[in-house]
Amino acid sequence: MAVIGYMRVSTHFQKFDSQQQALEDYGVDMIFKEHESGRKSFRSELNKALNVLEPGDTFVIFKLDRLARGTKQLLVLLEKFNEQNINFVSIENNIDTSTPMGRFFFTIMSAFAEMEAELIRERVLAGLDAARKKGVVLGRPPLVEQVSEALDLYHNTKMSAEQISKHCGIATSTLYHHLRKEGVYRTKTTLDFIEMSERLVSSGEKKFK
């Protein structure tokens, strides 16, 4: 069973000294060193460390902020370790998930994360409710200009509904929805009229050239 160490500094000007000493004193078999911000979701050295871990191994860091900058990010990694039967140790924070107290820490972390998500959800719903009471129209803004252009093209050109929808950036179903509201559709007479108008315009242009 391997003991994998991971340490991180944000810039190349910072030193690993205290982290490396603590990891070596713990007795890690391998250390992965990262020069990267903790806010980044993708960190190459962290990914390498996670990929070598196997069930029964132990993942060791110096402090929690070396691994993650937020509760959610940390909890995702802890859940992954728990599912894969990997022990997690944070030396400075006295956390070891191979012990009852360490597993209790993981449970508390999960509870806080769930509570945080529920509070955010409640605040969002309360904000939406308050906005509705003030008469604010929620949802996507209406495509007024696009629909107007689409209806104009439908009535005054021979473009198909699909071509019009693509040109105006709206769904074909949206175009048909507004046509149903108007109760007006193309007929053969309409198309013949459009074609005749185009011929007249074309012949007029040729005449005055």
Distance CA 146, CA 29 (A): 63
Query: Residue 28: CB partners within 8 Å, gap ≥ 6?
Result: 3, 4, 5, 60
Q: Indicate the DSSP class of residue 81.
A: H
Q: Which residues are identified as catalytic?
A: 10
pTM for the full predicted model: 0.54
Residue intervals in the chain for CATH 3.40.50.1390: 3-113
Between 66 and 179, the higher pLDDT residue: 66
Residue 181, SS3 per DSSP: helix
- Asked whether residue 2 carries a pLDDT value surpassing 50, the answer given is yes
Task: Count the Cβ atoms, other than its own, within 10 Å of residue 158.
Answer: 13
CATH number for domain 3-113, candidates 3.30.750.24, 1.10.260.40, 2.40.50.140, 3.40.50.1390? 3.40.50.1390
Q: What is the pLDDT of residues 160-190, one digit of tens each?
A: 888 888 888 888 888 888 877 766 555 544 4
DSSP H or E segment with residue 162: helix 161-168
Q: How many CB atoms lie within 10 A of CB 179?
A: 17
Q: What pLDDT score was predicted for residue 153?
A: 82
- What is the pLDDT averaged over residues 75-102? 89
Q: Of the candidates 14, 13, 10, which has an alpha carbon nearest to the alpha carbon of residue 39?
A: 10
